[in-house]
Structure 1
């Protein structure tokens, strides 16, 4: 059987892009939204609980950083690919139930940890389990919704990070305050086991037996043969690169935005955190707008699913630059909120674009490979790049007559007991360096837009 025929036969039956969804479509979307909220809540909760954890286990900030950074992110991204390959071959509903149960159990084990090593291993387990969430759930959604429905569908699921950010302080903070951080981990992890049972009992595998047999024939090749297909598809490659640049720019700006508000505008930590939280809430508007616009203006090639994110990326850059260059924070804050709306325009459409590009036999694999670029490249390169630029510019802006910036201003601040002019010079140089860094990395969004436009030119017509 030819490759083209296999891929065509493997596609689920095309659905009418009617505005009315079937009851089961509404149910599966609601269920997978809950799964994705659980996915993000279990990873975010550590940030809420890390101060009491640090005190009880006598940890350093570097150890805390390892727990929330490499211990989670690396295993999350790498584990996603083998889980995605498994999802192409077996019942995805059962596999999703297993990974939800696994990461929820590992979250609960975090609360049972008696030392740093046990907590670190539990976080590795959380990352490994959660790595399967996006590839499996996105492939299931793609098989249950038509191409012109996927923008809104993916946008709804993409509200999960914002919802989890709202829930984490409420659930984790209140429980930890009353009963301790260990009980808070249990309170977040154990309900996930019930959700896993619900997924196992009620979620259906949309593949028919015939489609499953065709997929098995298609998948006799290795992951490398499928990766070769992805690498040879120009549209996917450009979306992958565009996603990596968006991840790079967004991670770089997000990590240092609170520091910028404190250094350049004198906000307190609570005030800066409140502004960041507000920007996350208004980002929900962008997520829904992006999905609606991509579906509304979709053609048979699905170009709107990459062009809407391209427009959003350019606007994000413009609003970030305006926010970071205002002398008065009262003027800069509206631009920061606008950047959050613009950034979130891409959430649903880009995930939908991946599903629209790849054949039905590679839905989970395509999502996993895309997430690797957006997560690993973005999270590991962006903050380091911004920090390096900030340090370099700060050193250049610091008066040479007062010494070297790194030695005179450890941590960006003058040493205790230093003269007032040295303290002022340190603060000014540190603020200027970070401002320049944030403006510079913001242009990564423009580079992302260029590659997304290239992707729109490479897209081919799809019928599903």
Structure 2
């Protein structure tokens, strides 16, 4: 502890917090990823399609994760971050366990909504704690270590889900003889969900660092944190525009934006026939538009620091489209191997689970380290890692999808898993570097929202829908899914173009950050 009774920057408490937050992120992705290895059984049991699976894995989770992530990100900026994290952890763990009681597509969708709401509290709070606990010089490395929980959790989720499913099914081939009549996929949800409630008691005892301490920037305490959060909740609705002294013009603009979103989503519904997908996505897009409009009215400084930064906008487009690919592969990777190579849930759980955990962790941590090293020499050093990801992901993805030899396919899959996570710690570090400490929760919540809407809500659904279309046109289920996953790689072109834009604007905008903040009325000591 220092003289002000705050933990030391980079000290023992910081390292303890990092370890505990990595464990929380592991639980986060165990609960999120387990659906993919259970997908074939859920599909058969609930009589749903690949696009329905994509909706459950992606949109059902992502839209609510996005909408609630903004107000909870604000709460992370003004309230106890470890308390917010603990309450969120307990709630999403309970909703994961309740997923095991679902007997219909609708019920499972509702529980996935709940998991999304609970998990939306985790990353804004964690990013904020870690950004204040460690020096900006190692921020990419620290956030990459934290983000290793994504791949450890995804791997463990695959491993546990697959083996629980297989062992339970072998033990109770007739579900009516199983405890409470549970099927294997239902038991898996329950058994991985409940331990998170216990972990929440440990996270409640994390020591919080002083906000802004790692950069020597004083950040005053907010006396009314929940009032600020409620303003942010109101801000994701049209009512947030009433804060304006002249609300008529913003409301008209909002109505026109809402009408445009409605027309686009209505047409997509006509084309695809998926009312639930495009209703959910349209609501998410509309609430995002409402929030951006109201933020401009309520917190013009925060709005200008985020949306006045072209580097921020380009990076929060470029990186999320990489996640379009990674979430699609995460959602359908197990099904791809089961359909194309004829392996069972146990083998998928073991091989893909271990590979995802090991190679994904190596990739995300090495990406952060490489990014920080390049950042020492080049202003755009961290962004260069994103280009490296794209250059490796496309050939390795095509190779593992079309290689007929199973073991060679695993070999190429390992390359894919090492390369594609390298951006994960880079992106939030870039976002944090472009705003002031008090804005980090909102900035990272917006970044996560973009990952959720562009990557998670669109990726798995789009690949699932393409798979359904190819299957309806005479492809086998195996070939339909393979082709859909391969076509999904094409969105990396969007990522490359956006990252070029970020590289163009980042040097100037990062250099003028404090100057711009002062001009916007921020107090900087």
Q: How far apart, CA to CA, are the structure 1 residues paired with 2:105 and 2:395?
A: 43
- Please identify, of 432-441 and 334-343, the stretch whose mean Cα deviation from structure 2 is larger: 432-441
SS in 2 for 1:238: helix
8 Å CA contact retained: 1:155, 1:288:
yes
The residue aligned with 2:455 is 378
Matched, 1:61 2:43: no
What are the within-5 Å matches in structure 2 for residues 438-449 of structure 1? Answer: 440-449=490-499
The residue aligned with 2:319 is 243
The residue aligned with 1:267 is 341
Q: Deviations over 1:86-109 (max 9, x none)?
A: 222222122112211221222233
Q: Give the superposition deviation at 1:234.
A: 1.7
The residue aligned with 2:500 is 450
TM-score normalised by the chain length of structure 1: 0.74
Q: Give the superposition deviation at 1:83.
A: 0.8
SS in 2 for 1:202: coil
Matched, 1:83 2:72: yes
The partner residue of 1:149 within 124, 138, 142 is 138
The residue aligned with 1:223 is 295
Q: Give the superposition deviation at 1:136.
A: 1.2
Task: Work out the number of aligned pairs and report it.
Answer: 416
The residue aligned with 2:386 is 309
- For structure 1, list consecutive stretches of 5 or more residues without a partner in the other structure: 1-12, 395-404, 415-425
Q: How far apart, CA to CA, are the structure 1 residues paired with 2:14 and 2:295?
A: 30
8 Å CA contact retained: 1:291, 1:348:
yes
Q: Deviations over 1:309-356 (max 9, x none)?
A: 332233323433555676877666544422322212212122222222
8 Å CA contact retained: 2:311, 2:506:
yes
Q: How far apart, CA to CA, are the structure 1 residues paired with 2:472 and 2:42?
A: 31
Q: How far apart, CA to CA, are the structure 1 residues paired with 2:341 and 2:64?
A: 36
The residue aligned with 1:400 is none
Q: How far apart, CA to CA, are the structure 2 residues paired with 1:116 and 1:433?
A: 26
Q: How far apart, CA to CA, are the structure 2 residues paired with 1:172 and 1:322?
A: 27
Q: Give the superposition deviation at 1:52.
A: 6.2
Q: How far apart, CA to CA, are the structure 1 residues paired with 2:39 and 2:395?
A: 35
The partner residue of 1:102 within 91, 103, 118 is 91
Q: Deviations over 1:247-292 (max 9, x none)?
A: 23434555566677788xx522447777654652322222121111
Q: How far apart, CA to CA, are the structure 2 residues paired with 1:382 and 1:50?
A: 16
Matched, 1:168 2:157: yes
8 Å CA contact retained: 2:61, 2:116:
yes
SS in 1 for 2:376: coil
Q: Deviations over 1:370-403 (max 9, x none)?
A: 11212211234345665777899x7xxxxxxxxx
TM-score normalised by the chain length of structure 2: 0.67
The residue aligned with 1:200 is 204
Q: 1:173 to 1:385 in 2, by over 3 A?
A: closer
The residue aligned with 1:417 is none
Pairwise CA RMSD: 4.1
8 Å CA contact retained: 1:97, 1:199:
yes
8 Å CA contact retained: 2:57, 2:460:
no
Q: How far apart, CA to CA, are the structure 2 residues paired with 1:128 and 1:374?
A: 15
Q: Give the superposition deviation at 1:186.
A: 3.8
The partner residue of 1:35 within 11, 24, 33 is 24
